[in-house]
A and B are shown apart, each in its own frame.
Chain A
Amino acid sequence: MTYGREVTDREPASALALRGLSKRFDQKVAVAGVDLDVPTGSFFGLLGPNGAGKTTSLSMAVGLLRPDAGHAYVLGHDVWSDPVEAKRRLGALTDSARMFDRLTGGELLAYTGLLRGLPQDVIDARAAELLDVLGLADAGRTLVVDYSAGMKKKIGLACALLHAPRLLVLDEPFEAVDPVSGALIRDILVRYVRNGGTVIFSSHVMEVVERLCTHIAILADGQIKVVGTTEQVKGGRELEDVFVDVVGGRVATGAELSWL
């Protein structure tokens, strides 16, 4: 059961390194030169308000969206010029992309395993175990399209974990997930990091980020505003206060919306 694990070259200091990634859609600049180092073995939280460019940045980092400029390296392999090696070491959960949701959970895992080139017995064993651990085995022949939001996140995570990647890139893994499923996902990720894996995930739920992460970056207006270990970023304050300060929000004074 070492498929995936055995591709352990001497791991560089950064599991994921972004260099000057930028992307514009028509007139709008979505990401304006993101530089980021995700240390190997870290649990990295990418925070940002809606529309800050989190999804765009992560899509470019995993090779789904072509950047206008810049590079992304997964454990030293350029995602865009050396995709085969980079993507073997990478597991991703995308928030925007659908899954092949007209398959059952088991079928989707089997399909992902076949695409990853895993041997049949390995896929069978791992898929059964993942379904069991994630509490999806009871879903039986239910198609993924009929799953609840939390179940969809869990099966997506299972697909990302199936080939035992060294780096997990998760876009909004806790969005629309009930507390029970959320706790389960959290436990699995914590165990994965403890065993030497690296996780970067985007979120705008402060509590989760504060509790889990060893490192935090705050992205706003397509740029990294603050980055560092959780202690450095917080600097003794509440994370939410730091976040609002950095992003620059406004607070309702009570005079507006008087018609409500």
Chain B
Amino acid sequence: MAVTPEPPAEPPAEPRIPAQQVPAPSGSAQPAAGQQVPAQRSAPADAGGVFAPRPEPIRGGEPKARHFVRLKLRILGNTMRGKKSRIWLFILGIFFGLWAAVVGLAVFAGSSVADEGLRPTLAAFAGTALVLAWVLVPLLFFGVDETLDPARFALLPVPRRTLVLGMLAAAVVGIPPVVTLLAALGSTIGAVIDGGIGAGLVAVLGAAVGLAVCVAASRAVTSAFAGMLRSRKVRDLAALLIALAGISCNPIFQLVFALVENGESKQATTIGGILSWTPLAAPFVAYVDAIDGNWHLAAARLAIGVAGVATLLWWWLRTIESAMLGTASTAAAKKAKAVDGKPVRAFLPAVIRSLPVGRFTGLVGREVRYWGRDPRRRASLISLLAASVVIPFAFTFGFGTGSSAQEQEAARQSIGMSDGALILSLMFAGAFVGLVLVNQFGNDGTAYALHMLTNVPGQIELAARAIGVGILTFPLLAAGTVAVSVLSGHTDQLAPALGIGLCSYGISVGAAGITSVLAPYPMPDTTNPFAMNTGQGSAKSMLSFVSMIVTWVLTAPLIVAFFLLPGGLTWTLLPVGLVWGFALAWVGTRLAGNLLERRAPEVLVAVTPKLG
């Protein structure tokens, strides 16, 4: 990236800087008004020698957006250099990505070859779903890839426009954006078949603009949420917003199901029509107008998409700037003297103050405090709680809440999940606990050194962490299950649902314990709790999938039992699930503890940002 110095095209205007206010030194005369700063005595001509400062900084070339892309590629390459395991994980990631791309391609291609009346609606919904996925998935599960942290550029003379375009261009480099683009290109098939090359080109353009909308939206929203989560006042509001966003996807699912089931639905067409005039879906629908020959409409929709990208980028930049400025002072320190001679009592959270004071209580207490104070943990805990309430709600009410009774009944029959919906949803919800624990050592980073210096045994360490998260999430999951089953009129399923939910909860805690010791990875040191490194992070975070699948497989026997058992006996799943879940949580924690006992130094190296 050789930047050749070039002389400025025209002599730059003298920068106007207000004169410095010099406090008048007492006892000395006030300097003349026009010359507040006393002139420095000029050095003899030869005194400066070769080190004489130049009057003007040397001008380099202007930074370009493509430099950001190259920087990101170089970082990606460097993280994999000489690390076979990382290359394998990267290849695994590509395979996952290809699979997702094929599925997505099928969806978009399918919607593009649907019949005339259905095509715009399906395209609108597919596009909206894609953008929403880009916004919600980072918030709930993985975080955004912040290999290039915008704060790093704060000191470089990069114009703001270049910075934003460069960050956007760099954000498009990666597996998920490529997958998205491939999927969205699926609509080209239908466009070319029905509308010829011209419509096909519009479809390609639409896919590109759509991808930009996805990426920009995900950046802007995570960045804004990061800001909200930093301040304590709004963080509960943030939790509520995520929950509401999740629940609001629900009607969309219903409409899509109704549409696919019945072939058409007035509501769906209306909503699809509205969506296709918003940046969410407009770029994905443009080709439909092109097929019909309405070129100016197609252009208008693409323009809506571009305008949406511009707005999102502007918003993103604002939140970046406020984050860069206001990191230090957000946590207003209370000056009250809180020590008053009883630090131990002050340290232990109220929930566990009744337990005997000692090492284990201390560990649990620190975990509980950290779930509340560490922004990254707080974000994932909030997402977890939101998800574990949203998912049961979405599953139980989502299927078959059509407008009429027949529709409702039809939907239930066709999907055939009315009985199992609650049960299955709890299996999913319980397994999410594992997701927040899967990199628990990476979240703490090198602070774990203290536990090594004080000889905390591995099993005690893991058990304390499991109990810490349990204290916070267990009551809510149980209460949520009761609430959903009562509200949806499935009280007869309450016992088996609780059993299965708690079983999968326990198994996921055990599985995540093992994963967290075997594959910890460092987290970037930024203010954004949703940020993660691509090179190592996204590849290793796929292990959270593995641990989730393991959880589902081990919970599966109970699900099978639920469908096989006569209705009167399903209550037995409550004790069985509790015992099975608890047993596996115990086994997992024991195993992970033994592993940690042997691997503690390796875990510390793995979570150290420099060396990892």
Contact = CB atoms under 8 A, between A and B. Distances in A.
Interface of A: 25-26, 62-66, 83-84, 87, 90, 92, 94, 96-104, 106-107, 109-117, 120, 123-125, 127-128, 131, 137-143, 146, 159, 254-255, 257-258, 260
A100 B611 contact: no
A127 B454 CA distance: 17
B560 interface: no
Contacts of B419: none
Given A257-B50, A260-B51, A83 B455 contact: yes
Contact of A117 (B359, B363, B601): B359
A120 B359 CA distance: 11
A221 to B, nearest CB: 19
A87 B49 CA distance: 57
B469 to A, nearest CB: 16
B331 interface: yes
B82 interface: yes
Contacts of B315: none
A142 B342 CA distance: 17
Interface of B: 49-51, 53, 82, 328, 331, 333-339, 341-348, 357-359, 361-363, 365-366, 369-370, 373-374, 444-447, 449-456, 601-602, 604-605, 608, 610-611
Interface centre among B337, B343, B601, B602 (most CB of A within 10 A): B343
Nearest to A86: B455
A60 B49 CA distance: 48
Interface centre among A83, A102, A109 (most CB of B within 10 A): A102
Contact of B453 (A26, A87, A124): A87
What are the 8 tightest A-B residue pairs by CB atom distance, in nearest-first order? Answer: A114-B362, A97-B449, A110-B347, A142-B333, A106-B343, A97-B446, A115-B454, A258-B50
14 contacts: A96-B610, A99-B447, A100-B366, A102-B369, A107-B346, A110-B362, A111-B347, A114-B361, A127-B339, A131-B339, A141-B336, A159-B450, A254-B50, A260-B53
Contacts of B452: 63-64
Contact of B374 (A66, A102, A125): A102
B344 A123 contact: yes
A140 B340 CA distance: 10
A98 B446 contact: yes
A100 B444 contact: yes
A125 B339 CA distance: 11
B344 A114 contact: yes
A66 B346 contact: no
A99 B446 CA distance: 8
Given A128-B339, A137-B337, A96 B447 contact: no
Contacts of B451: 115
A62 B453 CA distance: 7
Contacts of A255: 50
B347 A115 contact: no
A258 B605 CA distance: 42
A162 B169 CA distance: 51
A128 B454 CA distance: 21
Nearest to A160: B453
Contact of B450 (A84, A100, A131): A100
Given A120-B357, A137-B337, A107 B50 contact: no
Contacts of A117: 358-359
Given A26-B82, A137-B337, A64 B449 contact: yes
A111 B348 CA distance: 9
A252 to B, nearest CB: 10
Contacts of B331: 143, 146
A100 B342 contact: no
Nearest to B337: A140
Interface centre among A63, A94, A114, A143 (most CB of B within 10 A): A114
A115 B452 CA distance: 10
Given A65-B605, A100-B366, A124 B359 contact: no
Contacts of B359: 114-115, 117
Contacts of A113: 344
A151 B331 CA distance: 17
Given A64-B453, A106-B346, A111 B339 contact: no
Contacts of A111: 347, 362, 365-366
Contacts of B611: 25
Contact of B363 (A94, A115, A159): A115
Contacts of A120: 344, 357
A26 to B, nearest CB: 7
B369 A115 contact: no
A236 to B, nearest CB: 35
A112 B454 contact: yes
A57 to B, nearest CB: 15
Contacts of B344: 110, 113-114, 120, 123-124, 127
A100 B444 CA distance: 8
A110 B342 CA distance: 9
Contacts of A257: 50-51
A204 to B, nearest CB: 19
B347 A65 contact: no
A216 to B, nearest CB: 26
B464 to A, nearest CB: 11
Contacts of B365: 111
Contact of A115 (B51, B345, B362): B362
A96 B337 contact: no
Nearest to B449: A97
B564 to A, nearest CB: 48
Interface centre among B333, B361, B454 (most CB of A within 10 A): B454
Nearest to B605: A65
A102 B611 CA distance: 23
A117 B359 CA distance: 6
Nearest to B457: A84
Given A99-B450, A103-B347, 15 more contacts: A90-B453, A94-B446, A94-B449, A106-B343, A107-B346, A114-B357, A123-B344, A125-B341, A138-B335, A140-B333, A140-B338, A143-B331, A143-B333, A146-B328, A260-B51
A113 B450 CA distance: 11
A103 B49 CA distance: 53
Contacts of B345: 124
A110 B345 CA distance: 9
A96 B451 CA distance: 15
A181 B125 CA distance: 62
A107 B343 contact: yes
Nearest to B52: A260
A115 B338 contact: no
Contacts of B53: 260
Contacts of B336: 140-141
A196 B339 CA distance: 30
Nearest to A60: B601
Contacts of B450: 97, 99-100, 112, 115, 159
Contact of B343 (A25, A99, A115, A128): A128
Nearest to A126: B343
A259 to B, nearest CB: 8
A143 B249 CA distance: 39
B51 A116 contact: no
A138 B453 contact: no
A90 B446 CA distance: 19
Nearest to B82: A26
A159 B165 CA distance: 47
Contacts of A90: 453
